[in-house]
A and B are shown apart, each in its own frame.
Chain A
Amino acid sequence: MEKSEILSRVKEVVGQVLSMDVSEITDEANFIFDLGADSMQSVELVAGFEEEFDVELDQDKALEVQTINDAANFVAEYV
């Protein structure tokens, strides 16, 4: 799968979980600092990525991911 496709699907998941317009989400956006994700939403995001890409992510490492870009790279390791 192309990195650009992963990135765009990651943004869609983030948009859904955080109830945001995808256009507001930049590649460098930090989940907490820029997007305001709280701890519950962070867990929901990881579950959302697993469902979207049909993979099982390492939970601890997934929760350490800070930005949209990092999330796309992390997911790419599994797909």
Chain B
Amino acid sequence: MKYLSEFRDGRRARMLAAEIGRIVTRPWSIMEVCGGQTHSIIRNGIDQLLPNGVEMIHGPGCPVCVTPLEVIDKALAIAALRNVIFCSFGDMLRVPGSRDDLFKVKGAGADVRVVYSPLDALKIARDNPAREVVFLAIGFETTAPANAMAVKLAKQQSLENFSMLVSHVLVPPAIEAIMNAPGNRVQAFLAAGHVCCVTGYASYPSIASRYRVPIVVTGFEPLDILEGIRRVVRQLELGEARVENAYERVVTEAGNVAAQKVLREVFAETDRTWRGIGTIPRSGWRLSDAYLDFDAEHRFDVADITTHESPLCRSGDVLKGAIKPHDCAAFGKECTPRSPLGATMVSSEGACAAYFNYGRFSRSER
């Protein structure tokens, strides 16, 4: 595919890696915020090309992993209601709630449907006027414009049987939370390219200067990721802490202005609990007051939820970069992709699942 295959060239990847090796003089810890980048790093083995000492820490940028347990439990409760068609991205179906996951609820008789786009959920609502159609609106800033448009169209078209269970999360507050965390080891960030498509990166320079941390907006293909790493290493070696854009073909400083306008209309900032991490102030979006009628939490009585997280699971420490997945005692034992204790073992881009699926061999080899 154009704009993908050119950025996967093996020879150039090795040259970029060699260039990183040439400029690096001491160990550095770099966090890729985005789970999609984690996936690409493990899937392609990019970390294996890096010189010793350049360590990638896998960040919390996987919506499947950080969606709070309470929201999963609410989703399960709503999905189990009679007359509800519950729509979700495929990623969320195996995420464990306190007791069940959506697959199990579906198996027990709930009408749970996988959609590719929130517009598909809207169509299901149009086609089933007598049923309540609920969409699980999760994701970062990348996914938010799509979900916002779905609810905006629902309002325009007076689709009263459509509602959304919203749990959007935002990247910049998470970066700050990581930098503020005691024992933080992260010295530089690869910022998530597709989030920046929407938001731009105008909010990053203040973070870079406040925490003295280089931030490079980075794409997802092997060459993009290596170029992002090369640029942060260069800054680290020079003692700089700037914002750079290594994904210029896709990201502009201003981002997608049309999308931002709709986001401001449909969503409002809110404190958000990140699964495994805790509550981060103003780190999420909820539906704005103008759209509260479409909020599934208001429409269905699911306030009375008590959550239960596995005491063994250390996914929070993994998401903060404090430990590697295999440092967790439950990794590969009580916790596997087949019976995950935490969400990081569920999503294919969750750090634990990525390590379990792709990382075993490279670790044993070393």
Q: Do A and B come from one complex?
A: no
